[in-house]
Structure 1
Amino acid sequence: MARFVPEEAAAGPVLQGVGAGGFRVDGTLYRAVQLSPSRAIAWTPPALEALSLDDLAPLLDPAPEFLLIGTGARLRRPSPALLAAAQARGIGIDLMDSRAAARAWVIVRGEGREVAVALFPLDA
């Protein structure tokens, strides 16, 4: 498991590593997880093509600066409807594979930024 060691831990959940089994957050291993600045939420995501803002609702209240979506082992695109709905609500979304999204979340949270991430399983 690749381990993450932020220089300074921001308040909230700490993403400690990513590996074949999933994402280790505060000592708990999640196959898929949503992380807000204040909490980690176990997640059973829908197929990426079916992902909607409703599936991401726990991350959107309060609204983050932007939302990272880790799309699994490789970068994939969600439906245009999701991206349009997010844009209509003024929610910025960055897409990347789940390992990259996890690393980015650690870095950006270490800067104290109010971002959220939804991480699809690495076998997705």
Structure 2
Amino acid sequence: MKLQMGRSDGLNTFTAYGAGYVSVNGIRHTSNLAVLPERLIPDWTKATFETLTVEDIELLASLDAEIVLLGTGDRLRFPSPELLRPLVRRQKGLEVMDLPAACRTYNILMAEGRKVAVGLLLV
């Protein structure tokens, strides 16, 4: 699905998504990644949802963001509370959603000027 939004110049915006991929600023990505308005982290983790570790979430918690979105693939799944401790310790907000919702929500929050990061599980 293509996303049509007013683009914020120089900032990372999701422009499309589909089964096993997302496009950021028109560039297609097929592996897990983390995205912030001014930074892209390809291969944020090699994990699947089932193999996520505290270290994977720690990296998201360390990013300069007030709210972290976690896109869990083609369906909504919630990580165990133990995995979320790094976010709680750093007092970061977390929203867990499927991949399409995470892309749309990121674009909205980013366009509002919010300090947002999204970690996407594409594998």
Instruction: Indicate whether the TM-score tops 0.5.
Output: yes
Is the 8 Å Cα contact of residues 69 and 94 (structure 1) preserved in structure 2?
Answer: yes
Q: Give the count of matched residue pairs.
A: 121
Instruction: Name 1:117's counterpart in structure 2.
Output: 118
Alpha-carbon spacing, 1:66–1:57, altered in 2? closer, same or farther (3 Å): same
Moved more, 62-71 or 36-45: 36-45
Deviations 1:17-63 (A, max 9, x none): 10124001122211232101211222244132442352245544443
- Distance across 2 between alignment mates of 1:56 and 1:11: 26
Instruction: Name 2:12's counterpart in structure 1.
Output: 13
Moved more, 50-59 or 11-20: 50-59
Give the partner amino acid of 1:79: S
Report the TM-score when normalising by structure 1.
Answer: 0.83
Is the 8 Å Cα contact of residues 36 and 59 (structure 1) preserved in structure 2?
Answer: no
Instruction: Give the root-mean-square deviation of aligned CA atoms.
Output: 2.1
Kindly state the Cα deviation for residue 8 of structure 1 after the two structures are TM-superposed. 4.5
Report the TM-score when normalising by structure 2.
Answer: 0.83
